[in-house]
Structure 1
Amino acid sequence: MARFRSLFFIAATLCSSGMASAATLQIQMHDQRGQPLVDAVVTLQGPAGQPAGALKADMDQRSQQFAPHVLAVHTGTPIKFPNSDNIRHQVYSFSPAKRFELRLYEGTPSDPVLFDKPGVVVLGCNIHDWMLGYVYVTEDPRFGVTDTQGQLALNVPAGVYHVTLWHPQALDMQPVNGGEVKIPAQGLQQVFALNLEAQATQSPTAPTSSAFGDAFKRAAHETAQ
Protein backbone atom coordinates (compact mmCIF):
# COMPACT_ATOMS: atom_id res chain seq x y z
CA MET A 1 0.00 0.00 0.00
CA ALA A 2 2.84 2.36 0.89
CA ARG A 3 4.52 1.53 -2.43
CA PHE A 4 1.28 2.37 -4.29
CA ARG A 5 1.04 5.75 -2.49
CA SER A 6 4.66 6.45 -3.38
CA LEU A 7 4.08 5.70 -7.06
CA PHE A 8 0.93 7.83 -7.03
CA PHE A 9 2.85 10.74 -5.49
CA ILE A 10 5.59 10.49 -8.14
CA ALA A 11 3.03 10.39 -10.98
CA ALA A 12 1.13 13.34 -9.52
CA THR A 13 4.35 15.31 -9.12
CA LEU A 14 5.33 14.65 -12.73
CA CYS A 15 1.88 15.67 -14.00
CA SER A 16 1.94 18.79 -11.86
CA SER A 17 5.41 19.67 -13.12
CA GLY A 18 4.32 19.15 -16.73
CA MET A 19 1.28 21.38 -16.26
CA ALA A 20 3.42 24.07 -14.62
CA SER A 21 5.70 24.18 -17.67
CA ALA A 22 2.80 24.86 -20.05
CA ALA A 23 2.54 28.39 -21.41
CA THR A 24 0.30 30.36 -23.78
CA LEU A 25 1.57 32.18 -26.84
CA GLN A 26 -0.89 34.97 -27.68
CA ILE A 27 -0.43 35.95 -31.32
CA GLN A 28 -1.59 39.08 -33.13
CA MET A 29 -1.11 38.96 -36.91
CA HIS A 30 -1.03 42.08 -39.10
CA ASP A 31 -0.56 42.76 -42.78
CA GLN A 32 1.88 45.39 -44.09
CA ARG A 33 -0.71 48.13 -43.47
CA GLY A 34 -1.09 47.16 -39.82
CA GLN A 35 -4.55 45.64 -40.34
CA PRO A 36 -5.56 42.42 -38.51
CA LEU A 37 -4.96 39.44 -40.76
CA VAL A 38 -7.52 36.63 -40.81
CA ASP A 39 -6.71 33.12 -42.11
CA ALA A 40 -2.97 33.32 -41.43
CA VAL A 41 -1.29 30.05 -40.45
CA VAL A 42 1.29 30.04 -37.65
CA THR A 43 3.38 26.93 -36.90
CA LEU A 44 5.91 26.35 -34.13
CA GLN A 45 8.91 24.05 -34.24
CA GLY A 46 10.70 23.55 -30.95
CA PRO A 47 10.69 21.21 -27.93
CA ALA A 48 9.64 17.71 -28.95
CA GLY A 49 5.93 17.14 -28.80
CA GLN A 50 3.01 15.34 -30.31
CA PRO A 51 0.59 17.04 -32.74
CA ALA A 52 -1.98 19.13 -30.90
CA GLY A 53 -5.45 17.62 -31.08
CA ALA A 54 -6.81 14.62 -32.95
CA LEU A 55 -5.57 13.78 -36.43
CA LYS A 56 -8.88 14.43 -38.17
CA ALA A 57 -10.55 17.48 -39.66
CA ASP A 58 -13.48 18.66 -41.79
CA MET A 59 -13.56 21.03 -44.77
CA ASP A 60 -17.22 21.87 -45.26
CA GLN A 61 -18.99 23.49 -48.19
CA ARG A 62 -21.58 26.08 -47.18
CA SER A 63 -23.26 28.77 -49.30
CA GLN A 64 -21.04 27.68 -52.19
CA GLN A 65 -17.89 28.44 -50.23
CA PHE A 66 -15.30 26.26 -48.52
CA ALA A 67 -15.59 26.51 -44.74
CA PRO A 68 -13.13 27.24 -43.32
CA HIS A 69 -11.42 29.19 -46.09
CA VAL A 70 -8.04 28.06 -44.69
CA LEU A 71 -7.57 24.80 -42.79
CA ALA A 72 -4.28 23.83 -41.12
CA VAL A 73 -3.58 20.16 -40.34
CA HIS A 74 -0.68 17.95 -39.37
CA THR A 75 0.85 15.60 -41.92
CA GLY A 76 -1.07 12.32 -41.91
CA THR A 77 -4.46 13.85 -41.13
CA PRO A 78 -7.59 12.42 -42.82
CA ILE A 79 -10.00 15.19 -43.85
CA LYS A 80 -13.70 14.78 -44.55
CA PHE A 81 -15.43 17.02 -47.08
CA PRO A 82 -19.08 17.33 -46.05
CA ASN A 83 -21.40 19.22 -48.39
CA SER A 84 -23.88 21.27 -46.35
CA ASP A 85 -25.38 22.92 -49.44
CA ASN A 86 -28.55 21.68 -51.10
CA ILE A 87 -26.70 21.42 -54.41
CA ARG A 88 -23.95 19.06 -55.47
CA HIS A 89 -20.24 19.92 -55.51
CA GLN A 90 -17.19 18.26 -57.09
CA VAL A 91 -14.09 18.99 -55.01
CA TYR A 92 -10.63 18.58 -56.45
CA SER A 93 -6.99 19.67 -56.23
CA PHE A 94 -4.00 19.52 -58.58
CA SER A 95 -1.53 20.62 -55.89
CA PRO A 96 1.68 18.55 -55.60
CA ALA A 97 1.08 18.06 -51.87
CA LYS A 98 -2.24 16.31 -52.62
CA ARG A 99 -3.91 15.52 -55.91
CA PHE A 100 -7.45 14.16 -55.58
CA GLU A 101 -11.01 14.48 -56.83
CA LEU A 102 -14.37 13.87 -55.16
CA ARG A 103 -16.87 13.45 -57.94
CA LEU A 104 -20.23 15.23 -57.92
CA TYR A 105 -21.87 14.50 -54.57
CA GLU A 106 -24.25 15.58 -51.83
CA GLY A 107 -23.90 14.96 -48.10
CA THR A 108 -20.61 13.56 -46.81
CA PRO A 109 -18.43 11.07 -48.70
CA SER A 110 -17.93 7.94 -46.59
CA ASP A 111 -14.14 7.96 -46.93
CA PRO A 112 -11.98 10.91 -45.81
CA VAL A 113 -9.00 12.07 -47.89
CA LEU A 114 -5.59 11.45 -46.31
CA PHE A 115 -3.23 14.44 -46.44
CA ASP A 116 0.08 12.67 -46.07
CA LYS A 117 2.56 15.20 -47.49
CA PRO A 118 3.46 18.68 -46.17
CA GLY A 119 2.69 21.67 -48.37
CA VAL A 120 -0.10 23.93 -49.57
CA VAL A 121 -3.16 22.32 -51.15
CA VAL A 122 -5.42 24.57 -53.24
CA LEU A 123 -9.03 23.36 -53.38
CA GLY A 124 -11.55 24.06 -56.12
CA CYS A 125 -14.99 22.92 -57.23
CA ASN A 126 -15.34 21.65 -60.79
CA ILE A 127 -18.91 22.98 -60.92
CA HIS A 128 -18.46 26.36 -59.21
CA ASP A 129 -15.24 28.00 -60.41
CA TRP A 130 -15.34 30.77 -57.81
CA MET A 131 -15.10 28.36 -54.88
CA LEU A 132 -11.61 28.45 -53.41
CA GLY A 133 -10.13 26.92 -50.27
CA TYR A 134 -6.74 26.02 -48.85
CA VAL A 135 -5.33 23.22 -46.72
CA TYR A 136 -1.96 23.94 -45.14
CA VAL A 137 -0.29 20.64 -44.22
CA THR A 138 2.60 20.92 -41.76
CA GLU A 139 4.99 18.57 -40.01
CA ASP A 140 5.32 20.97 -37.08
CA PRO A 141 3.39 19.65 -34.06
CA ARG A 142 1.98 23.02 -32.97
CA PHE A 143 0.02 25.27 -35.29
CA GLY A 144 -3.17 27.24 -35.79
CA VAL A 145 -5.07 29.73 -37.97
CA THR A 146 -5.83 33.32 -36.97
CA ASP A 147 -9.43 34.40 -36.40
CA THR A 148 -11.30 37.39 -37.82
CA GLN A 149 -9.37 39.67 -35.45
CA GLY A 150 -6.03 38.27 -36.60
CA GLN A 151 -5.54 36.54 -33.27
CA LEU A 152 -4.47 33.05 -32.26
CA ALA A 153 -3.62 31.43 -28.91
CA LEU A 154 -1.34 28.38 -28.76
CA ASN A 155 -0.79 26.43 -25.54
CA VAL A 156 2.74 25.01 -25.55
CA PRO A 157 5.51 24.01 -23.16
CA ALA A 158 7.79 26.91 -22.26
CA GLY A 159 10.86 27.02 -24.48
CA VAL A 160 12.41 28.39 -27.65
CA TYR A 161 10.49 27.92 -30.91
CA HIS A 162 11.09 28.63 -34.57
CA VAL A 163 8.04 30.29 -36.14
CA THR A 164 6.73 29.84 -39.68
CA LEU A 165 4.01 32.09 -41.11
CA TRP A 166 1.77 31.57 -44.13
CA HIS A 167 -1.22 33.16 -45.83
CA PRO A 168 -2.92 32.57 -49.21
CA GLN A 169 -1.80 36.05 -50.27
CA ALA A 170 1.78 35.66 -49.07
CA LEU A 171 4.37 36.40 -51.76
CA ASP A 172 4.48 33.44 -54.18
CA MET A 173 2.19 31.66 -51.69
CA GLN A 174 5.28 30.46 -49.82
CA PRO A 175 5.82 29.98 -46.04
CA VAL A 176 7.68 32.87 -44.41
CA ASN A 177 10.35 32.61 -41.71
CA GLY A 178 8.94 34.24 -38.59
CA GLY A 179 12.16 33.99 -36.58
CA GLU A 180 12.50 32.58 -33.08
CA VAL A 181 10.48 33.27 -29.96
CA LYS A 182 11.35 32.38 -26.39
CA ILE A 183 8.16 31.56 -24.51
CA PRO A 184 8.52 31.80 -20.72
CA ALA A 185 6.38 29.84 -18.27
CA GLN A 186 4.13 32.87 -17.75
CA GLY A 187 3.35 33.04 -21.47
CA LEU A 188 4.06 35.60 -24.18
CA GLN A 189 2.23 38.09 -26.39
CA GLN A 190 3.78 38.42 -29.84
CA VAL A 191 2.95 40.49 -32.91
CA PHE A 192 3.82 39.23 -36.40
CA ALA A 193 3.40 40.90 -39.77
CA LEU A 194 3.16 39.51 -43.29
CA ASN A 195 3.59 41.31 -46.60
CA LEU A 196 0.72 40.33 -48.89
CA GLU A 197 0.28 40.45 -52.62
CA ALA A 198 -2.46 42.76 -53.83
CA GLN A 199 -5.64 40.87 -54.59
CA ALA A 200 -9.09 42.08 -55.53
CA THR A 201 -10.79 39.75 -53.06
CA GLN A 202 -9.45 37.10 -50.74
CA SER A 203 -12.50 34.86 -50.94
CA PRO A 204 -14.35 35.16 -54.29
CA THR A 205 -18.12 34.93 -54.10
CA ALA A 206 -19.18 35.21 -57.76
CA PRO A 207 -18.16 33.41 -60.95
CA THR A 208 -16.38 36.43 -62.47
CA SER A 209 -13.17 34.50 -63.11
CA SER A 210 -11.51 31.18 -62.41
CA ALA A 211 -10.35 31.78 -58.84
CA PHE A 212 -9.04 28.24 -58.57
CA GLY A 213 -7.01 28.58 -61.77
CA ASP A 214 -5.42 31.83 -60.58
CA ALA A 215 -4.58 30.40 -57.16
CA PHE A 216 -3.21 27.21 -58.62
CA LYS A 217 -0.87 29.12 -60.93
CA ARG A 218 0.47 31.08 -57.96
CA ALA A 219 1.11 27.85 -56.06
CA ALA A 220 2.52 25.90 -59.01
CA HIS A 221 6.10 26.14 -57.73
CA GLU A 222 5.28 25.80 -54.06
CA THR A 223 7.82 24.11 -51.82
CA ALA A 224 7.03 21.88 -48.88
CA GLN A 225 7.52 23.49 -45.52
Structure 2
Amino acid sequence: MRNLILFLVFATISKGAFALEINVKVIDSAGAPVVNAVVLGPASPGVSPPTQFAWPNMMEQKDIAFSPYILVVPVGSEVRFPNRDRVRHHVYSFSKGNRFELKLYGQDETRHLAFKTPGIVAVGCNIHDEMIGYIRVVDTPYAAITDAEGVARLTGMKDTNGKVTVWHPDLAGGKDIVVPYDSSQAETVAKLDGKTAEHAHH
Protein backbone atom coordinates (compact mmCIF):
# COMPACT_ATOMS: atom_id res chain seq x y z
CA MET A 1 0.00 0.00 0.00
CA ARG A 2 2.83 2.39 0.89
CA ASN A 3 4.50 1.75 -2.47
CA LEU A 4 1.21 2.42 -4.26
CA ILE A 5 0.79 5.75 -2.45
CA LEU A 6 4.35 6.77 -3.32
CA PHE A 7 3.75 5.84 -6.96
CA LEU A 8 0.56 7.92 -7.13
CA VAL A 9 2.31 10.93 -5.57
CA PHE A 10 5.20 10.60 -8.02
CA ALA A 11 2.81 10.29 -10.97
CA THR A 12 0.95 13.42 -9.88
CA ILE A 13 4.16 15.43 -9.52
CA SER A 14 5.48 14.18 -12.86
CA LYS A 15 2.27 15.12 -14.66
CA GLY A 16 2.31 18.60 -13.16
CA ALA A 17 5.97 19.12 -14.04
CA PHE A 18 5.65 17.82 -17.61
CA ALA A 19 5.46 20.68 -20.11
CA LEU A 20 4.94 20.46 -23.85
CA GLU A 21 5.56 22.69 -26.85
CA ILE A 22 2.78 22.60 -29.43
CA ASN A 23 3.58 23.94 -32.90
CA VAL A 24 0.63 25.24 -34.91
CA LYS A 25 0.93 26.29 -38.56
CA VAL A 26 -1.84 28.59 -39.79
CA ILE A 27 -2.60 28.81 -43.51
CA ASP A 28 -5.25 30.56 -45.58
CA SER A 29 -7.52 29.10 -48.27
CA ALA A 30 -4.70 29.26 -50.81
CA GLY A 31 -2.29 27.45 -48.51
CA ALA A 32 -0.24 30.59 -47.83
CA PRO A 33 1.10 31.12 -44.30
CA VAL A 34 -0.91 33.52 -42.15
CA VAL A 35 1.19 36.04 -40.23
CA ASN A 36 -0.01 37.48 -36.91
CA ALA A 37 -2.73 34.91 -36.29
CA VAL A 38 -3.51 34.40 -32.61
CA VAL A 39 -3.20 30.86 -31.27
CA LEU A 40 -4.51 30.07 -27.78
CA GLY A 41 -4.23 26.93 -25.69
CA PRO A 42 -6.92 25.96 -23.18
CA ALA A 43 -6.66 27.31 -19.66
CA SER A 44 -5.30 24.84 -17.10
CA PRO A 45 -6.78 24.51 -13.60
CA GLY A 46 -4.54 26.21 -11.06
CA VAL A 47 -2.43 27.97 -13.71
CA SER A 48 -3.06 31.73 -13.84
CA PRO A 49 -2.35 33.93 -16.87
CA PRO A 50 0.88 35.94 -16.60
CA THR A 51 0.89 39.73 -16.30
CA GLN A 52 2.57 39.86 -19.70
CA PHE A 53 3.44 37.47 -22.51
CA ALA A 54 6.77 37.42 -24.38
CA TRP A 55 5.97 40.77 -26.04
CA PRO A 56 5.23 44.20 -24.51
CA ASN A 57 1.71 45.17 -23.47
CA MET A 58 1.89 48.09 -25.87
CA MET A 59 0.11 49.36 -28.98
CA GLU A 60 1.88 52.32 -30.59
CA GLN A 61 0.47 54.91 -32.94
CA LYS A 62 3.14 55.22 -35.60
CA ASP A 63 2.96 56.38 -39.24
CA ILE A 64 -0.80 56.82 -38.83
CA ALA A 65 -1.27 53.16 -37.93
CA PHE A 66 -1.50 50.99 -34.85
CA SER A 67 1.54 48.84 -34.19
CA PRO A 68 1.26 45.97 -33.70
CA TYR A 69 -1.89 45.47 -35.74
CA ILE A 70 -2.84 42.60 -33.41
CA LEU A 71 -1.87 42.49 -29.72
CA VAL A 72 -2.58 39.69 -27.24
CA VAL A 73 -2.65 40.52 -23.53
CA PRO A 74 -3.67 38.65 -20.37
CA VAL A 75 -6.95 39.69 -18.80
CA GLY A 76 -6.50 42.40 -16.17
CA SER A 77 -3.23 43.67 -17.61
CA GLU A 78 -2.47 47.28 -18.45
CA VAL A 79 -1.71 48.34 -22.02
CA ARG A 80 0.34 51.39 -23.00
CA PHE A 81 -0.72 53.52 -25.98
CA PRO A 82 2.24 55.78 -26.90
CA ASN A 83 1.86 58.28 -29.72
CA ARG A 84 4.96 58.31 -31.99
CA ASP A 85 3.37 60.52 -34.65
CA ARG A 86 3.66 64.27 -35.04
CA VAL A 87 -0.13 64.53 -35.13
CA ARG A 88 -2.55 63.97 -32.28
CA HIS A 89 -4.68 60.85 -31.94
CA HIS A 90 -7.99 60.10 -30.25
CA VAL A 91 -8.01 56.36 -29.52
CA TYR A 92 -11.23 54.52 -28.73
CA SER A 93 -13.14 51.23 -28.80
CA PHE A 94 -16.83 50.35 -28.73
CA SER A 95 -16.16 46.66 -28.06
CA LYS A 96 -18.45 45.11 -25.46
CA GLY A 97 -16.86 44.80 -22.04
CA ASN A 98 -13.85 46.90 -23.00
CA ARG A 99 -15.24 50.22 -24.22
CA PHE A 100 -12.83 53.10 -23.74
CA GLU A 101 -11.84 56.53 -24.99
CA LEU A 102 -8.41 58.16 -24.85
CA LYS A 103 -9.02 61.73 -25.90
CA LEU A 104 -6.64 63.76 -28.05
CA TYR A 105 -2.97 63.50 -27.10
CA GLY A 106 0.19 64.37 -28.97
CA GLN A 107 3.63 63.14 -29.95
CA ASP A 108 5.62 61.26 -27.29
CA GLU A 109 2.66 61.25 -24.93
CA THR A 110 1.39 57.93 -23.57
CA ARG A 111 -1.90 56.75 -22.17
CA HIS A 112 -2.47 53.59 -20.10
CA LEU A 113 -5.52 51.38 -19.82
CA ALA A 114 -6.34 48.08 -18.07
CA PHE A 115 -8.45 45.48 -19.87
CA LYS A 116 -10.59 43.49 -17.45
CA THR A 117 -12.85 41.46 -19.75
CA PRO A 118 -11.70 38.62 -22.04
CA GLY A 119 -12.58 39.13 -25.68
CA ILE A 120 -11.76 40.97 -28.89
CA VAL A 121 -11.20 44.72 -28.72
CA ALA A 122 -11.39 46.61 -32.02
CA VAL A 123 -9.37 49.82 -31.67
CA GLY A 124 -9.77 52.93 -33.81
CA CYS A 125 -8.81 56.59 -34.01
CA ASN A 126 -11.53 59.23 -34.03
CA ILE A 127 -9.33 61.51 -36.15
CA HIS A 128 -7.95 59.00 -38.67
CA ASP A 129 -10.61 56.54 -39.83
CA GLU A 130 -8.07 54.38 -41.66
CA MET A 131 -6.42 53.42 -38.38
CA ILE A 132 -7.57 50.10 -36.94
CA GLY A 133 -6.01 47.58 -34.62
CA TYR A 134 -7.09 44.67 -32.46
CA ILE A 135 -6.38 43.61 -28.90
CA ARG A 136 -7.22 40.05 -27.89
CA VAL A 137 -7.70 39.86 -24.12
CA VAL A 138 -7.30 36.28 -22.91
CA ASP A 139 -7.73 34.30 -19.69
CA THR A 140 -5.29 31.53 -20.60
CA PRO A 141 -1.54 31.36 -19.88
CA TYR A 142 -0.93 29.79 -23.30
CA ALA A 143 -0.85 32.30 -26.15
CA ALA A 144 1.29 32.82 -29.24
CA ILE A 145 1.25 34.78 -32.49
CA THR A 146 2.27 33.26 -35.81
CA ASP A 147 5.58 34.29 -37.36
CA ALA A 148 6.49 34.96 -41.01
CA GLU A 149 6.14 31.23 -41.72
CA GLY A 150 2.68 31.12 -40.18
CA VAL A 151 3.90 29.10 -37.19
CA ALA A 152 3.02 29.71 -33.54
CA ARG A 153 4.63 27.84 -30.64
CA LEU A 154 2.67 27.28 -27.46
CA THR A 155 5.06 26.42 -24.63
CA GLY A 156 4.34 24.97 -21.22
CA MET A 157 1.21 23.09 -22.29
CA LYS A 158 0.15 20.28 -19.95
CA ASP A 159 -2.10 18.01 -22.00
CA THR A 160 -0.72 15.78 -24.75
CA ASN A 161 -4.03 16.00 -26.64
CA GLY A 162 -6.58 18.77 -26.76
CA LYS A 163 -7.78 21.74 -28.77
CA VAL A 164 -6.33 25.13 -29.62
CA THR A 165 -8.19 28.25 -30.69
CA VAL A 166 -7.00 30.15 -33.78
CA TRP A 167 -8.12 33.68 -34.68
CA HIS A 168 -7.33 36.40 -37.19
CA PRO A 169 -9.63 39.42 -37.65
CA ASP A 170 -9.35 39.37 -41.46
CA LEU A 171 -9.94 35.65 -42.03
CA ALA A 172 -12.70 33.10 -41.32
CA GLY A 173 -15.11 35.98 -40.80
CA GLY A 174 -13.14 37.09 -37.76
CA LYS A 175 -14.41 34.06 -35.83
CA ASP A 176 -12.53 31.67 -33.57
CA ILE A 177 -11.56 28.38 -35.20
CA VAL A 178 -11.04 25.43 -32.86
CA VAL A 179 -8.52 22.82 -33.99
CA PRO A 180 -7.55 19.54 -32.27
CA TYR A 181 -3.87 18.91 -31.60
CA ASP A 182 -1.81 15.84 -30.80
CA SER A 183 1.61 16.41 -29.22
CA SER A 184 2.94 13.28 -30.93
CA GLN A 185 2.66 15.17 -34.24
CA ALA A 186 5.43 17.59 -35.19
CA GLU A 187 2.95 20.23 -36.24
CA THR A 188 -0.77 20.98 -36.17
CA VAL A 189 -2.20 22.71 -39.25
CA ALA A 190 -5.08 25.18 -38.99
CA LYS A 191 -6.74 26.46 -42.16
CA LEU A 192 -8.63 29.77 -42.15
CA ASP A 193 -11.08 30.71 -44.91
CA GLY A 194 -9.99 33.71 -46.96
CA LYS A 195 -6.73 34.94 -48.45
CA THR A 196 -4.20 37.11 -46.66
CA ALA A 197 -3.25 38.80 -49.96
CA GLU A 198 -6.72 40.35 -50.10
CA HIS A 199 -6.10 42.38 -46.95
CA ALA A 200 -3.78 45.31 -46.36
CA HIS A 201 -2.96 44.06 -42.87
CA HIS A 202 -1.43 40.69 -42.02
Q: Could you say which TM-score interval applies, normalised by the shorter chain?
A: 0.7 to 0.9
Partner residue in 1 for 2:105: 105
Q: Which runs of 4+ in 1 moved over 3 A?
A: 16-20, 197-200
- 1:48-70 superposed Cα distances (whole Å, 9 cap, x missing partner): 32324637711111111111000
Q: 1:114 to 1:20 in 2, by over 3 A?
A: closer
The CA RMSD over aligned residues, in Å, is 2.8
Which residue number in structure 2 is paired with residue 77 of structure 1? 77
SS at the partner of 1:97?
Answer: coil
Structure 2 unaligned blocks of 5 or more: 1-9
Residue of structure 2 in register with 1:161 after alignment? 162
Change (3 A) 1:200 1:46: closer
- When the two structures are superposed, what TM-score results if normalisation uses the length of structure 1? 0.72
CA contact (8 A) 1:79 1:114 kept: yes
Residue among 26, 31, 50 paired with 2:28: 31
1:168-211, CA deviations, whole angstroms, 9 ceiling, x for partnerless residues? Answer: 12334221222x32325xx842221111378853339xxxxxxx
Identify the residue that residue 172 of structure 2 maps to in structure 1. 171
Aligned counterparts of 2:17 and 2:172: Cα–Cα separation in 1: 39
TM-score where L is the length of structure 2: 0.80
Please report how far the alpha carbon of residue 30 of structure 1 lies from its aligned counterpart in structure 2 after TM superposition.
0.3
Aligned match of 1:203? 201
Structure 1 position 90, deviation (Å): 1.0
Count matched residues: 186
- Opposite residue 54 of structure 1, the aligned amino acid is Q
Q: CA 1:161 to 1:53, structure 2 compared with 1: closer, same or farther past 3 Å?
A: farther
Q: Gaps spanning 5+ residues in structure 1: where?
A: 1-12, 205-225
Kept after mapping to 2: 8 A contact 1:29/1:146:
yes
* Deviations 1:1-44, CA, capped at 9 Å, x for gaps: xxxxxxxxxxxx9xx96897222222211011100101211111
Give me the identity figure in percent.
Answer: 33
